[in-house]
Structure 1
Amino acid sequence: MSVPDPVNAAASESQLEWINHFARLPEAFHESPAPAPFPDATCLASSPAMCERLGLEAAALGRDPWLGACTHGSELAGAEPRASVYAGHQFGVFVPQLGDGRAKLLGEVRTPTGETWELQVKGAGPTRFSRGADGRAVMRSSVREYLVSEAMAALGVPTTRAVALFGSSLPVYRERVEPAAIVLRAAPSFLRFGHFEYFHYNGYSARLQELIDYALAHDYPELQGADDPVAAMLEAVIARTAEMVADWQAIGFCHGVMNTDNMSLAGLTIDYGPFAFMDAFDPGYICNHTDQGGRYAFDQQPQIAQWNLIRLAETLVIHFADATREAAIERAKALLQGFQPQYRQAWLARMRAKLGLQVEQEDDEALIQELLARMAAEGVDYTRFFRQLPDLEQAEIRAQLESELEDGAAWQAWWSRYQARLAREGLPPEERRAAMNAVNPKYILRNHLAQAAIEQAEAGDASEVLRLQQILARPFAEQPEYEAYADLPPEWASGIQLSCSS
């Protein structure tokens, strides 16, 4: 067994410049969590893209001081671990205090290129906000979050990032005994809507103003000079959220738990729990089996995003610069009414690109909606259909698809309208194919692929995690050696159940 060079280890530790803005906030915002044991800790995987972006040597994550700091809370020079307090509406019901029950912010770093990133470990043990829980995460959920974070980034979706995945011999008790795991994740900011709800609904107005000032300085510094910085920040959050949800809907991604405490002020996809990419297209798809009412079904995500933004606006409106409360409320309403048009425009732009349409025309939405209706009626696989759409220019491939559909005549009618629409574009077929393949992924993190990686990782073998990480880093490339990873899911995949338990 090789012994780490202490000089090189120290160099790896000091590459990052710690600035820790969140730790400078008063104690009302956070606590300093105690270390927690994590026996036999090992670094199972790390993200080459994020390690490079942070200026961090990947090998350093597998040895102390990084290994100990990420897994059991030992000291890391410059880090100031904190667990933050927040509230949230969970499935529509307000919970006045939540917080980082199993997440610990190591601190904020400035990279050699001048970027700032907050580094957080998830599953590292209990905090004051754990509400009696063990503060742990299981391998099952940790593998999924690790893989999907980097997969979403490769797809171009705003997201928190994964830096490393750690395993342990520690048993965790859920529906069954499962091995524990920790994800080291990164984001420009981990502020949530729920942070603002906590101080607003609990009547801590002075603290809320401190939080707003912090958010403006940290997340939206360009708005500090606006006539009304708080209103401008709300407007920016609305716009970012609209773009993010449009990305979700365009790639067939279902978050599963869009509680306000899982909504990012920075407009990032955050807190991957029972998420899923749809296989057969179903607008009402529910990926979280505990969501029996379908509050967070796929087709409800835009409406829920707006509902959550309204909850955020309720915490901010009294800090608008308007002369009267009535005027501030009217201004907030006007900003919120802009969400749906912004979302619709962003979604249509993405769907046009998926169909190879570059010029906006009035009848595009009707063409798109008709296609989605046909796909839903036939249970067509969402990702594979759009990836194979350019191939349908070939008559024999199109005939095979039509033979598999129950209503071939309806499909042929849509296809004729689509061809007429393409004729108004004038783009050569090969250029159109290249453009479509650049936005329609071939490889996504399907549930059955994640499940295979989880089962191997639970047995101590992370090779499938690493293989999937490599494949999903290039979702639009053909990668013929991994063709099987783009196949339709096997029948047993329909039995995979996802819940909030992790």
Structure 2
Amino acid sequence: MNPLDPTRPDPAGGPVWGWQPGFAALGPAFFTALQPTPVPAPYWVAVSQDAANTLALPPDWLQSDEALQALSGNQLLPGSQPMATVYSGHQFGVWAGQLGDGRAILLGETFGNTEIQLKGAGRTPYSRGGDGRAVLRSSIREFLCSEAMHALGIPTTRALAVTGSPLAVQRETRETAAVVTRLAPSFIRFGHFEHFAARDMQPELRALTDYVIDRYYPACRKAANPAAALLQAVSERTAELLALWQSVGFCHGVMNTDNMSILGLTIDYGPFQFLDTFDPGHICNHSDVQGRYAFNRQPQVAYWNLFCLAQALMPLIETEEPAVAALSTYKAVFAQAFLTRMRAKLGLAQAQDDVQRSDSDGTLIEQLLALLAANRVDYTVFWLRLTEAVESGDFTPVRDLFLDREGWDGWLVGYSARLVQSDGASAAALMRRTNPRFVLRNHLGELAIRAASEGDFSVLHQLQQVLQRPYDTHPEHAQWSGFAPEWASSIAISCSS
């Protein structure tokens, strides 16, 4: 019996995919049917068995030539009906018109209600002159980061596999091609709604909205205004996502409306970065010349994007008041979610939120972030050392991170007073579960990429194993939890890949 659908036998022992109508049921206005473009001489780069387990794939299938060819776009998975979806969007704050899956091809939705997508599988009608390919460099980064974010408990698309090919691809330099197999309950974006609203295609807009509500937000169907209820639900999920990003120091880099998931997932890993030194104004994408997507602007940009979604939904919401009410939940949910996450990072299980008090949790966190920024303290190293200090009682290694020792000492007084109100062992345990030792810093990804470009995937696989358990010690890779080397600051990431 096949594990994807135990009601259907599979004499060959391979997967029976059990494709569902899913997005395809919306009709041809929403997509173009097409097949991936094959690549020469594909080879395995990396696979995620953890992601494979979500599909209940047979254990050895990802080692088969069938899988290699299918996930490289060289042959179709049995029964799949691949397509590229159409959407529009705002890019860097400017209406860009029609966009669409320019290098992503949706294979379909499986029996497990998971969409499978190949990124880099060739040109589509929405490629806008591009080649429809992804390169090995960016594919490795996306594979590692999506799986790392999942391990951190941050909502994200997943990466099942990366395959490579000697096919030459021209970006800023000549590189080789790769294909990432991505998984998600849905890849629907804000831009899908913007597309049909901008063209005054109200039947299609309503069909898309009904589909999303019935499939992913069924509670909204019972509301007096289901479209407004959907906007509120998406606003709240997006707020929670942004609070998680900010708490771990994650910069997305290109938060266009077409890169925003309707399910509140982290999607489209391009010029992303985890902060090294804590710099609120850090811009990780060197294509972002105006700094629109700087780290400290991400929460407000997400709100702006939600406003664009609200505009797209207005033909269905009809009046302004419920739309404004739906959007208004974003800021409150973000503030509370961020406070909750940061409180956990400090090991404070009990809240002290009275804003009238000088030692409230919000004030404590605000003062700490200001200190980290002023002293350019390494963000991940700080939280790791603080966790160890709470365990040991010795805060000297944390103090050594600050040039402003008096400022640190003053903050520590207030923090210590809060810790006294908590059990020390419980505080340390909470911090160990909340503060990762390992995140995908730029230089770690670069080490994996450089080795892979020479045909050595061992660094990639070791890094993958570490990032899948980011809170463990991994003593054999302790150096990966330390400071970034000086050369890391010269790594440039952009929209070009």
Q: Shorter-chain-normalised TM-score: which range? A: over 0.9
Alignment of 1:471 with 2:466, yes or no, is yes
Alignment of 1:97 with 2:98, yes or no, is yes
2:422 to 414, 422, 426: 426
Counterpart in the other structure of 1:438: 433
Residue 397 of structure 1, CA deviation: 4.9
Take 1:17 and 1:257, find their aligned partners in 2: how far apart are those partners? 35
Residue 213 of structure 1, CA deviation: 1.6
Take 1:471 and 1:92, find their aligned partners in 2: how far apart are those partners? 37
Counterpart in the other structure of 1:251: 248
Check 1:436–1:459 CA distance in 2 against 1; reply closer, same or farther (3 A cut): same
Q: Secondary structure of the residue that 1:45 maps to in structure 2?
A: strand
1:145 to 142, 165, 170: 142
Which runs of structure 1 show a deviation greater than 6 angstroms over 4 or more consecutive aligned residues?
none
Q: Secondary structure of the residue that 1:385 maps to in structure 2?
A: helix
Compute the RMSD of aligned alpha carbons. Answer: 1.7
1:364 to 361, 366, 390: 361
1:13 and 1:66 in contact (8 A); partners too: no
Counterpart in the other structure of 2:399: 402
Take 1:403 and 1:152, find their aligned partners in 2: how far apart are those partners? 29
Take 2:397 and 2:471, find their aligned partners in 1: how far apart are those partners? 24
- Deviation string for 1:315-366 (max 9, x for gaps)? 112212xxxx4xx211111221221111000000000000011111121111
- Deviation string for 1:374-422 (max 9, x for gaps)? 1111111111111211333589953354355321111101001111122
Q: How many residues align?
A: 483
Q: Secondary structure of the residue that 1:96 maps to in structure 2?
A: strand
Residue 305 of structure 1, CA deviation: 0.5
Gaps of 5+ in 1: 1-6
Moved more, 217-226 or 263-272: 217-226
TM-score, normalising length from structure 1? 0.93
Task: Give the 5 Å matches for 1:9-158.
Answer: 10-14=12-16, 16-57=17-58, 59-111=60-112, 116-158=113-155
Residue 475 of structure 1, CA deviation: 0.5
Alignment of 1:389 with 2:390, yes or no, is no
1:306 and 1:339 in contact (8 A); partners too: yes
Q: Secondary structure of the residue that 2:362 maps to in structure 1?
A: helix
Check 1:202–1:492 CA distance in 2 against 1; reply closer, same or farther (3 A cut): same
Counterpart in the other structure of 1:498: 493
Residue 482 of structure 1, CA deviation: 1.6
Take 2:70 and 2:397, find their aligned partners in 1: how far apart are those partners? 56
2:281 to 279, 284, 293: 284
Counterpart in the other structure of 2:330: 339
1:313 to 310, 314, 317: 310
Take 2:69 and 2:334, find their aligned partners in 1: how far apart are those partners? 43
2:287 and 2:495 in contact (8 A); partners too: yes
Alignment of 1:458 with 2:453, yes or no, is yes
Counterpart in the other structure of 2:408: 411
Q: Secondary structure of the residue that 2:164 maps to in structure 1?
A: strand
Identity of aligned residues (%): 49
Q: Secondary structure of the residue that 1:499 maps to in structure 2?
A: coil
Which amino acid in structure 2 is aligned with residue 191 of structure 1? I
2:254 and 2:293 in contact (8 A); partners too: yes
Take 1:378 and 1:108, find their aligned partners in 2: how far apart are those partners? 49
Check 1:400–1:384 CA distance in 2 against 1; reply closer, same or farther (3 A cut): closer
Q: Secondary structure of the residue that 1:307 maps to in structure 2?
A: helix
Gaps of 5+ in 2: 1-8, 355-359
1:165 and 1:183 in contact (8 A); partners too: yes
1:107 and 1:120 in contact (8 A); partners too: yes
2:184 to 187, 192, 203: 187
1:86 and 1:98 in contact (8 A); partners too: yes
